[in-house]
Structure 1
């Protein structure tokens, strides 16, 4: 399952790891949009920065995004408004506006192609109309120049929409490639295929890599989707979501970027080369009977409304939702303010990632944006605490379901337990012991507790786990 963007991405050259006696100012963990933007902002300020990535640049979330750069984000503003005061909603829009403006300026300066498009949140059915109208009101309350439309010039069903002009779309891998080159041009270094397993705090932070190497730095930034260190318990405040996408040739150009307002959403945009990208059909990671069914639901929908389009790519992406809809940009407790984290973008990373990078680099350099003070370091609201409880009730339910599955699968040859034996791995997550589920679309092991994912052979694909699956001993059943 390779995304349209990853399939045509240009490789980025690696740098040699810093020597054991070299002290860096900052180690950034993760070479997605958050990590590379943060690293570049710090390198531009003259700091010695190294960015380490467990796989390749953009391999996880950024390389699998739909690439929408928009201040109208489905029904996200109304979600924040339900949990937080108006000032927080306004600060969120301002943070995303700064993220969007910075990103588009960067693209213009470095030759990254951008297509200007209208952003549309639409109601596919009458049952979605109230939520879309609520989003329209939330956007108006933050002075976004949205307009209401009862009808759209599109082939798929809809009963109303809120519309924001002059937004943008792009190829996220082209952005990451330009960021990586600029990072290296400004004296920063990039190190792919180096997984971070831990960070110790005895004086200056020491970043431990899977190969045994250690990088020492004054500051560490964890830009890894969900933090790979547990001391902040961020994984307990996040809900990992898996969603799906198709790239189709011959779908015809679209003049907008569309997203439906229902729980089983449909996302659409065009791409250069007469391509159409259709996304949606999401679910909590590891909590579905078949990922292929979700992918096939997208295929059926696309064939119904774009019958002449031909599938060229299919893929999925993982995103994390925060309890109140506002990304978590914070310093880890007990780190003396030296370890920074950013997560919880909830599918809107193209703007939120840059805003998070601006916040973290501002904290390190002593120039925090005013909106960051409003958004971050907040106590959870009552509604937000309720969301945390709901997330962890879901985790408890997954634990119970896993125990029931073990009881059902005691005999060899039954379900995923047999597959784990065939793969030679123990199907238990190395993070907190969740019983893994087999992902039939991507042939991976997915944890229904906090979203860790592993290859068929047990290597880590996504955290918070940092250790591979245990190998099954040949003499054990």
Structure 2
């Protein structure tokens, strides 16, 4: 699986890594949050480096739907159920600031984007009630949404909620422009460098350990989706979610708006014109990472649904992305506990990373540079409400149960013959659970124990990866770590 964005991405040059260097600020993660934060700091005169474990944009930024919208499903009504109207208004203000900043950057750097209305839709009575509640929350938070029941979709709907004049773009074109501007201001991008640890010496600052050597910095920003290093325990208040996308070539007219259903299963739609071709992008079928036995079936279901309503569309790409649902209903952005006051993180965008990433970057860079943003002080203040505590308890109860059942099932099966092509299974060898899979005709045998907190991984048939159901760490067929809180590979299964 490979996304339309990654397959058509412009080149983003990196440079050879030099261990032992020192920087004012090091940003870990080369996605939208990391690159925007690095640029803002470099513009202010900081000596900045971005350390990316894979390639720039390889994880969430390269696999998003890239909707730049302030209408975010039923997100605002969820926020108001956890917090007060003041925090909801701060959330909207921050996202509006993020949206305005990135669109202004696109205008200044010749990066194309399209203005589109964002439309939530419901096909059931319960979905219509959800849209009523979201409209009320939007109104209280200062968003001018409009309720209705008309759409350009090829099937009937009960209710719609529209927010005019939002935007969509090619996320890797934006990322390439950010990287170019970062270089122009003296910032450096290093790829293939995985951060494995951090220490805060008495002399001050942070020393980062990587698989290619150490670097030092006065400040470190963890922009890795879910923060690595486990400082702050973010993994305990985030639920990792995986969802799927397909891009279909189209020649007929398709709905121009950015649509999102509020009923389940979720359906997300937007258009894209890339390389002279028109595409319809359809997303949905989300689930908790590692908790679905046939992920390829979810991709196939999206294709079936799309062909039912757009019969002339031809499937061209399929991919999936990982996002993190915060127990607090808003992102966690700011200083990391036990980081000596010099380590910062941003996480918990809840599938709305395009505006939230830039909002977080604005807030983090201001914090590091000594600035002040009232909306950020409200939005990102540390608070755990009773509702948050209950959500956290539920998440961790699920994790504990999953760990127990994972070990029981992982030790229940004995090793079979080689799995069929594209399939993987966890079996018992002696007292250890081992992952065995066959990909491109090659059999791989790895430890099935996630290095993060010893969960038992499961096989992802769509991505052909090993996914940990506890906190969302993911590994290639050969055990190489791809994303999540783990900073090391799966062990050998030999």
TM-score grouping bracket, smaller chain normalisation = over 0.9
Aligned pairs for 1:67-466 within 5 A: 67-202=66-201, 203-211=204-212, 213-250=213-250, 252-272=253-273, 273-410=277-414, 412-413=416-417, 416-418=425-427, 420-421=435-436, 422-466=443-487
Contact 1:253 1:274 in 2 (8 A): no
Deviation of the 1:407 alpha carbon: 4.3
CA RMSD, 1 decimal: 1.4
| Alpha-carbon distance change, 19 to 288 in structure 1, aligned in 2, over 3 angstroms | closer
Deviation of the 1:156 alpha carbon: 3.1
Aligned pairs for 1:57-76 within 5 A: 57-76=56-75
- Take 1:408 and 1:264, find their aligned partners in 2: how far apart are those partners? 33
Per mean C-alpha deviation after superposition, the further-off stretch among 139-148 and 73-82 is 139-148
Contact 1:39 1:183 in 2 (8 A): yes
Contact 1:27 1:219 in 2 (8 A): yes
Report the 3-state secondary structure (helix = DSSP H, G, I; strand = E; otherwise coil) of the residue aligned with 2:26: strand
| Alpha-carbon distance change, 312 to 76 in structure 1, aligned in 2, over 3 angstroms | same
- Take 1:333 and 1:189, find their aligned partners in 2: how far apart are those partners? 27
- Take 1:295 and 1:156, find their aligned partners in 2: how far apart are those partners? 21
Unaligned runs of at least 5 residues, structure 1: none
Report the 3-state secondary structure (helix = DSSP H, G, I; strand = E; otherwise coil) of the residue aligned with 2:259: strand
- The equivalent of 1:14 in structure 2 is 14
Report the 3-state secondary structure (helix = DSSP H, G, I; strand = E; otherwise coil) of the residue aligned with 1:26: strand
Runs of 4+ in 1 over 6 A off after TM superposition: none
TM-score by length of 2: 0.93
- Take 1:424 and 1:360, find their aligned partners in 2: how far apart are those partners? 42
- Take 1:18 and 1:109, find their aligned partners in 2: how far apart are those partners? 32
Deviations 1:428-473 (A, max 9, x none): 1010100000001111000000000000000000020011111123
Contact 1:252 1:276 in 2 (8 A): no
- Take 1:229 and 1:87, find their aligned partners in 2: how far apart are those partners? 32
- Take 2:192 and 2:22, find their aligned partners in 1: how far apart are those partners? 21
Contact 1:327 1:344 in 2 (8 A): yes
Deviation of the 1:206 alpha carbon: 0.8
Per mean C-alpha deviation after superposition, the further-off stretch among 318-327 and 119-128 is 119-128
TM-score by length of 1: 0.96
Report the 3-state secondary structure (helix = DSSP H, G, I; strand = E; otherwise coil) of the residue aligned with 2:447: coil
Deviation of the 1:153 alpha carbon: 2.2
Deviation of the 1:269 alpha carbon: 0.4
- Take 1:441 and 1:406, find their aligned partners in 2: how far apart are those partners? 21
Deviation of the 1:28 alpha carbon: 0.2
Report the 3-state secondary structure (helix = DSSP H, G, I; strand = E; otherwise coil) of the residue aligned with 2:371: coil
Alignment length, in residue pairs? 471
Aligned pairs for 1:48-63 within 5 A: 48-63=47-62
- Take 2:483 and 2:491, find their aligned partners in 1: how far apart are those partners? 16
Unaligned runs of at least 5 residues, structure 2: 428-433, 437-442
Contact 1:79 1:324 in 2 (8 A): no
Contact 2:68 2:168 in 1 (8 A): yes
- Take 2:112 and 2:139, find their aligned partners in 1: how far apart are those partners? 30
Deviation of the 1:210 alpha carbon: 0.9
Contact 1:253 1:275 in 2 (8 A): no
